[in-house]
Amino acid sequence: MDIDALNAEFGIAGTLRFVEGRSGFLMIEVENALATATITPFGGQVLHYRPREAPDDLLFLSDQAHFTAGKENKGGIPICWPWFGPDPEGQGRATHGFIRCLPWTLHVCEELEDGSTRIHLGITDDEATRAIWPLPFELGVEILVGSTLAVTLVSRNRGDHPMRITQGLHSYFKVGDATRIRVLGLEGCRYIDKARGAGDARIVQDGAITVGAEVNRIYEAVPARLAIEDPVLGRRIGIDTRHSRTCVVWNPWIETCREMEDLGDEDYRRFICVETVNTASEVIEIPPGQEARIGADYRVESL
């Protein structure tokens, strides 16, 4: 990792620079007229984003996040790929795939006319990825840092056979107090309740989602516009999804939070995950040579 060389090749004076961040991890810091953001090429993960006029960060990042090579970092927007959730083949491979723990390659950093900054990172199969998952792929993430944050994941099948994946943008949103928020937009949708271990039974969401116990649900046939209303931070987070009809809502609550070594005991109050995913019955099949996309735009509005 040569920070000077990266700054010389990709840095943008006054707007984008490479720095050594927590535990020496390489970070891309963006500060333009519209927003500030931090992205790490490890996992292609956005860690922070704050629109110029907003007092608070959009995203939660755990003080206990690992920042150790080969481990995932809890917070920001981890990318889950080529599977979301437990190993689909039951071989004991990592939950949420392996791509969030690997270094990605920088392709483009550029300023756009509207004042936003575009960052494009990618990762391609190699010996190490094929040892875990045999398929040839090219995966890219485009991150647009502007008055909104837009993240788009593009998967290309480089092989001769159809590629089946599940995937997700595992967004951790910072909240003032999780027990006081409302997640809006999923009213009337059917969900699988993973926290209650109710198998594949579908339950219908009655009203807005609130948090008063562990929440771990996969919502199906969801609309493209969701929101989190947060009276403590006095804001509404808007989430507009693309190419996703499935949404996971997760808050670990007290016990699971205490069991997780990469969360502080009180962190369950500080975030809610509302994740833009393709999983459960939404498995994506990509024909040889073709691409599939998933994405989301995030915005912060005052209440």
Ligand X SMILES: O=P(O)(O)OC[C@H]1O[C@@H](O)[C@H](O)[C@@H](O)[C@@H]1O
Closest distance to ligand X from the beta carbon of 113 (Å): 36
d(CA 29, CA 49): 10
**Nearest residue (CB) to ligand X, 40 versus 148:** 40
N- to C-terminal Cα separation, the chain:
43
Among 103, 230, 256, 81, CA closest to 170: 81
170, 229, 282, 285: the catalytic one is 170
Closest distance to ligand X from the beta carbon of 204 (Å): 19
Alpha carbon dihedral 173, 179, 182, 186, in 10-degree steps, equals 80
Question: What is the nearest approach in angstroms of ligand X to the Cβ of residue 4?
Answer: 33
Amino acid at 81: W
- Tell me how far, at minimum, the Cβ of 258 lies from ligand X, in Å: 13
Token pair of 54, please?
């907003």
Q: Which of 28/248 has CB closer to ligand X?
A: 248
Nearer of residues 275 and 282 to ligand X, judged by Cβ:
275
Minimum gap (Å) between residue 167 Cβ and ligand X: 12
Element (H, E) at 230: strand 225-230
90 CB-near residues (< 8 Å, 6+ apart): none
Q: Tell me if residue 275 is catalytic.
A: yes
Among left, alpha and beta (phi > 0; psi -120 to 50; other), residue 85 is left
Which of the following is catalytic: 275, 285, 291, 301? 275
Residues in the chain: 303
Q: With respect to ligand X, which residue has the nearer C-beta, 28 or 277?
A: 277
Written in H, E and C, the secondary structure of 263-276 is: CCCCHHHCEEEEEE
**What minimum distance in Å lies between the beta carbon of 95 and ligand X?**
4
Catalytic-residue membership of 48: no
Nearer to ligand X, 156 or 170 (CB): 170
Residues that bind ligand X (CB under 6 A): 72, 74, 95-96, 170, 194, 216, 248, 250, 275
Which residue, 43 or 140, has its beta carbon nearer to ligand X?
A: 43
Q: How far is the CB of 230 from ligand X (least distance, A)?
A: 20
Give the distance, in angstroms, between the CA of residue 230 and the centroid of all CA atoms in the same chain: 20
Residue nearer to ligand X on the CB measure, 50 or 74: 74
Report CA torsion sign: 194, 195, 201, 204: negative
The pair of three-digit structure tokens given for residue 300, joined into one six-digit string = 């912060």
Q: Which residues of 136-172 are buried (b: 16+ CB within 10 A; e: fewer)?
A: bbebbbbbbbbebbbbbbbbbbeeeeebebbbbbbbb
Catalytic residue set: 170, 275
